[in-house]
Amino acid sequence: MKPIYKSLDLLKTGGFGEIYRAIQIKEGLKRLVILKTIKKKLIKTKKIQDQFEDELRVTFPLIHPNIGQIIDYYEDKDKVFFVMEYIQGKTVRELQKKSDKVKKYMSIPEVLYLILESCKGLSYAHNFIDSFKKSKSPIIHRDISPQNIMVTYNGRVKVIDFGVAKAKTNINITSQGEYKGKPAYMPPEYIHGKYYDHRFDQFSLGVIFWELLTNKKLFTGKNYVEVLKKIDVCDVPLPRFHNPEVDHELQEIVLKMLHSNYRKRFSHLGEVEKELEKKLYHLAPSFTPGVFQDFVDSVFKSEILWEKAKIKSLLNED
């Protein structure tokens, strides 16, 4: 028996389609999901068709607690639908904005936890093994930014949106001079069109790490070109300059992730995981996801109450 999907409300509208909150119904069982729709009339060009197939091909097999999962895919006469895991939470960008507004910022252990959990999801993708082909199929996200990492209301962290990920299974090839991802989080080797590997994502995560520790933006400019020029120079201010609570050991981890030469970064994110885990439990031996949940609750208290009431109302209407 095929599942039935019933949309509850529209969450976001974009150039390619809409994103809905919905209910998945199968054999009397129900759960909340996200429907990401793409209008078929926009998939007529070969390039867009390939981009769409790439996102599905890359993301569908990924099953990890730190990655937002695609559950299903189907289409009707007008639209194509991704059925995605419903994540009750906010993006790191939303967390940064609200933290600035209410003047509540993450402690260093909380920042370490967020980056550590992000590392776990990305490391899984970088070392992904296709269960059916029995072969390694590494996936580079290429768009790690605060908009593509979510913190859930129960204190978990999930990497989302592998829409521009690079994998062996990709059809779509980036044209020379065409950039994928958000400029302020791109590594120097990518903007020069040079060879890059999984350490692309390490650099991007390093930028987020720096920004969360300092509550500042790292690479800024009036326009796209100015930002790329700053990345090219890759002059990274010491985090301790902005936050004296960052000790020398932690600072060295961040700076190594942000090295302009990818060969001088950590060889893989598994190494970063070990360093962050050791540092986290040295600073906060009793740290648990519940500690991070308490912080998220304190920042988004009103939003959490509103969302619970909204969902309850939508489900009652159903």
Residue 9 φ then ψ, to 5°: -160, 155
CB atoms within 10 A of CB 286: 7
Q: Using pLDDT thresholds of 50, 70 and 90, give the confidence band for residue 15.
A: low
CB atoms within 10 A of CB 88: 14
Percent of the chain with pLDDT over 70: 87
What does the domain layout of the chain look like in residue ranges? 4-86, 89-296
CA-nearest of 280, 211, 218 to 250 is: 280
pLDDT digits (tens, 9 = 90+) for 209-231: 999 999 999 999 988 899 999 99
Mean per-residue pLDDT over the chain, rounded: 88
CATH number for the segment(s) 4-86:
3.30.200.20
The whole-number average pLDDT for the span 149-162 is: 94
Q: What are the residues whose beta carbons fall under 8 Å from the beta carbon of 306, sequence distance 6 or more?
A: none
What is the number of helices (H) and of strands (E) in the chain?
A: 11, 12
Residue 49, pLDDT > 70, answer: no
Looking at residue 66, its pLDDT comes to 97
How far apart CA 3 and CA 22 sit, in angstroms, is 12
Residue 181, pLDDT > 60, answer: no
Residue 52, pLDDT > 90, answer: no
Q: Which residues pair with 21 in a beta bridge?
A: 9, 34
pLDDT digits (tens, 9 = 90+) for 73-97: 877 777 778 889 999 999 999 999 9
pTM of the predicted model over 0.85? yes
Class of domain 89-296: mainly alpha
Structure tokens of 242? 């902005």
The whole-number average pLDDT for the span 17-46 is: 82
